[in-house]
């Protein structure tokens, strides 16, 4: 039989009753496939563990952080394997060090490099159902590592790669990927199929169903992913290669953010390399700069530079800029009441007029655009946060996503 990888998110295993429900889903697959299961921690557990570390110290060691937060998956895996075993199925839990799953990189942000298949494959071929802890691995020194928030998805994708699985199914609390956030627009529609590239843009631009690095892992390894709900028995969304998709829509989806901040440096003394002088120390402090616009004065002596960051990086950003002796500017203006709205779709590559239609649609609703950024398959605009719902609604209609 072919191998299938099933991953269950924190909400799917968030209570004993939900774990029992997940057991039924696993059992249904075991009739047709050899099943490998990846589990997240029960919802809320990881946050509780992180809060404990903060109560110990604001400078809690990264290596001990990984040991601590990886404990959540151990609990959910044991409960899930225990329930399957109690119902007559040959199942056991596996921590990353028992397999082992080798990672590289820093603690808290490691990436899976290699999975030793021998033990799990032997158990699988004997009819067993391995329940593997997502989100965790071990480094070359056999110290426990974690893969970052949303890391269980990456774990599932890499397990699917190394075990050459036929399918990888990500179970969550939503029925799939939607044209936009259903909480922000009731008329949002579930997308049947979406390309890796489109999903990567949507995840990067605000869609919270999957983390961008998980999508990138799937894209690089050509692992098809089905995203579906563990609470209703309905088809989900398939994330796959573009050539596998037939789509007559120019735009596939709309994403928005709710944690952006705009920083404007007015009257910056202009010279070659000034932008690098501003952004290098931000990069060195792990602050991601997103949208950037620069205006040059008529005498070429001063410039106004505007960029966006995540709002939680704002305090650190202001401190770094004010301490930067390599730049001079007249004043800094901060705006925390902004959001980014983006349209995404591979169809715009071959379709002229998409930018005009987007801007005209927003103009009709008197929504002012502050900053613009584009790629081949997305257009993002920065607007007032109060206008996000209105913007999503009018763009959803403009590009026929309601139908």
Q: Which residue has the higher pLDDT, 208 or 61?
A: 61
pLDDT digits (tens, 9 = 90+) for 350-368: 889 999 999 999 999 999 9
Smallest CA-to-CA distance from 95 within 122, 150, 138, 132 is with 132
Look at residue 97 and tell me whether its pLDDT is greater than 70. Answer: yes
pLDDT digits (tens, 9 = 90+) for 299-318: 667 889 999 999 999 999 99
Q: What is the mean pLDDT of residues 43-55?
A: 95
DSSP 190: B
Window from 49-63, 168-182, 292-306, 370-384 with minimum mean pLDDT: 292-306
Q: How many CB atoms within 10 Å of residue 356?
A: 9
Distance between terminal CA atoms of the chain?
Answer: 39
Q: How confident is the model at residue 298 (pLDDT cuts 50, 70, 90)?
A: low
Backbone angles phi, psi at 321, to 5 degrees: -65, -45
Window from 117-131, 254-268, 295-309 with minimum mean pLDDT: 295-309
DSSP 288: P
Topology adopted by domain 3-173: Carbamate kinase (3.40.1160)
Look at residue 211 and tell me whether its pLDDT is greater than 90. Answer: no
Q: What is the mean pLDDT of residues 199-214?
A: 84
Contacts (Cβ under 8 Å, ≥6 apart) of 374: 355, 380
What's the pLDDT score for residue 245?
78
Q: What is the mean pLDDT of residues 258-279?
A: 90
Q: For 11-39, b where at least 16 C-beta lie within 10 A, e where not — what string?
A: bbbbeeebbeebbebbbebbeebbbbbbb
What's the pLDDT score for residue 38?
98
User: Measured in whole angstroms, how far is the alpha carbon of residue 19 from the centre of its chain?
Assistant: 24
Q: Which residues are 263's β-sheet partners?
A: 307, 334
**Residue 6 · residue 37 · CB < 8 Å:** yes
């Amino acid at each position: 039989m072919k191998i299938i990888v099933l991953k269950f998110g924190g909400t799917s295993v968030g209570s004993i009753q939900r774990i029992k429900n997940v057991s039924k889903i696993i059992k249904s697959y075991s009739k047709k496939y050899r099943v490998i299961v990846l589990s997240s921690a029960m919802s809320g557990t990881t946050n509780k563990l992180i809060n404990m570390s903060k109560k110990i110290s604001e400078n809690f060691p990264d290596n001990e952080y990984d040991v601590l937060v990886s404990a959540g998956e151990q609990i959910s895996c044991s409960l899930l394997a225990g329930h399957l075993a109690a119902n007559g199925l040959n199942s056991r839990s596996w921590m990353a060090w028992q397999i082992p799953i080798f990672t590289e990189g820093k603690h808290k942000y490691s990436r899976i490099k290699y999975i030793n298949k021998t033990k799990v494959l032997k158990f699988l071929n004997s009819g067993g159902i391995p329940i593997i802890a997502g989100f965790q691995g071990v480094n070359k020194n056999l110290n426990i590592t974690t893969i970052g928030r949303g890391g269980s998805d990456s774990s599932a994708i890499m397990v699917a790669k190394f075990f050459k699985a036929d399918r990888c199914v990500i179970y969550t609390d939503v029925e799939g990927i939607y044209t936009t956030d259903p909480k922000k627009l009731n008329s949002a529609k579930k997308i049947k199929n979406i390309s890796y590239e489109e999903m990567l843009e949507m995840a990067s631009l605000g869609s919270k169903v999957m983390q961008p690095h998980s999508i990138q892992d799937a894209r690089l390894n050509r692992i098809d992913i089905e995203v579906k709900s563990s609470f209703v028995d309905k088809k989900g969304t398939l994330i796959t290669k573009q050539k596998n998709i037939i789509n007559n829509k120019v735009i596939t989806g709309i994403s928005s953010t709710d944690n952006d901040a705009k920083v404007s440096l007015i009257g910056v003394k202009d010279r070659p390399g000034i932008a690098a002088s501003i952004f290098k120390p931000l990069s060195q402090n792990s602050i991601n700069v997103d949208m950037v616009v620069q205006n040059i004065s008529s005498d070429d002596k001063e410039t106004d530079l505007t960029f966006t960051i995540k709002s939680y990086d704002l305090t650190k950003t202001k401190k770094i800029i004010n301490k930067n002796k390599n730049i001079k500017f007249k004043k800094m203006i901060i705006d925390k009441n902004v959001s980014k709205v983006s349209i995404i779709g591979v169809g715009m590559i071959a379709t002229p007029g998409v930018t005009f239609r987007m801007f005209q649609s927003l103009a009709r609703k008197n929504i002012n655009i502050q900053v613009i950024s584009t790629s081949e398959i997305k257009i993002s605009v920065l607007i007032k946060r109060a206008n996000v719902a209105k913007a999503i609604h009018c763009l959803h209609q403009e590009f026929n996503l309601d139908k």
